[in-house]
Amino acid sequence: MTVETTTKTYLNFINGKWEASSSGKTVASNNPSNRDDVVGIIQVSTKEELDQAVFAAKHSQKAWKALTGSERGAYLYKTADILENRMDEIAETMTREMGKTLPEAKGETARGVAILRYYAGEGMRKVGDVIPSTDNKALMFTSRVPLGVVGVISPWNFPVAIPIWKMAPALIYGNSVVIKPAQETAVTCAKVIECFEKAGIPDGVLNMVTGSGSVIGQGLVEHPDVNGITFTGSNEVGKMVGQGALARGAKYQLEMGGKNPVIVAADADLDIAVEGTISGAFRSTGQKCTATSRVIIAGEIYEKFKEKLLEKVKEITVGNGMEDGIWMGPSANESQLNTALSYIEAGKQEGATLLIGGNRLTGAAYDKGYFIEPTVFENVTTDMKIAQEEIFGPVLALIQVNTFEEAITIANDVKFGLSASIYTKDIQSMLSFIENMEAGLIRVNAESAGVELQAPFGGMKQSSSHSREQGEAAKEFFTAIKTVFVK
């Protein structure tokens, strides 16, 4: 397997050019499996670079909007082909930069290719409707128009898929874009931007500025020429983004946290339920907003389910995601590792029973990385931190219940409402779960993590701003409706 052996400095992409920040400051992006491995050097940019990027986006948007949808789509098709040809390289960079195992990274990159092609096709679909008028001598119709300049603030946990599922619809509907990627995965994002550049996207239509959230992220939110902000990240930051955008009348879209439950009913196929729970909880080291965090299990099958679950957890191999046979990689950074460890300690202090894991991994294979054991607690009550707060790590809480109604009540007893899953063979239980779960993504006999790219994605309660990403639903955020009356 080949990876880059030289350390490259990645610049900002502004108005079709790669430029260094005037700050002269940079930061290293390190491999969380091996802190000595520097994946790349990233610019710590200033408000000046952000202003330049927004200026370029604003002044390129009119010409970009004037292209037909199929013409804009052609750029996305070209980008998809280039990304597909560079899939191995970009997936390897992702694994080195944030720790996701290489098979998962390749799957995510392939998803990015598919998203680009999907939205390229959206350029040929309708952008409005004809509406009957009460005046029989008039024509009334609607058309969708772009917002203008869209600011994208993307997280580190899906450094290819999330930027693309924000940028692609923004671009196909005629907006220009300024993206601020998470610093932890800015190298991966830069390589994605290179694909757009090589596809020939017009200067200024797509810009990338790297730097801190307090300067570049907040600057995007507050910039008077940024017409919309789409954000994925923590609830704390998301609320500040929403408040900042609202204060100046900009449109905003927030996708935030989750505390996603799986209900295992008494009639569930336990082998399938265990497999889905393990995958949902521990793939990507639990660093997904849709990761399984709580398992709510019918009392009559609780012990049998727990036994099967623990047997499978013991089989999980943890290590450098570039190596063959590794099932789970490291936490993405030291802060994320410490957060997971702090929640594990809180679970112990609050009286939950630690069944397996709970420790930072040490030894020659682990000492230079941020490795943690997959962890399972039982005797968890709904008032505990590990039952209420998003951990974003490989920590699973088992909760035993006596009735299906109790299971639904506990599943809903959190401030989040992103995804939820149930394992059952009973149609009535399925229908009750679908009707009563307070979550934007409902999965039946499937893990809580994962949604197909052509389907709307987003949460309820404090998991989102109640808009939806992906699929045709993305049109709702990235455009405004114009109603036209012609006499």
Please give the positions annotated as active site.
255
Distance of CA 369 to the CA centre of its chain: 23
In terms of C-beta density within 10 A (0-12 exposed, 13-18 middle, 19 or more buried), how is residue 128 classed? middle
Distance of CA 193 to the CA centre of its chain: 18
Cα-Cα-Cα-Cα dihedral sign, residues 416, 418, 424, 425: positive
Rounded to whole angstroms, the Cα distance separating 414 from 383 reads: 10
| DSSP reduced 3-state for 53 | helix
Terminal-residue alpha carbon distance, the chain: 66
| DSSP reduced 3-state for 397 | strand
Strand partners, 263: 296, 422
Annotate 317-386 with DSSP letters as a single string. -BS-TTSTT--B---SSHHHHHHHHHHHHHHHHTTPEEEE--SB--STTTTTS--B--EEEES--TTSHH
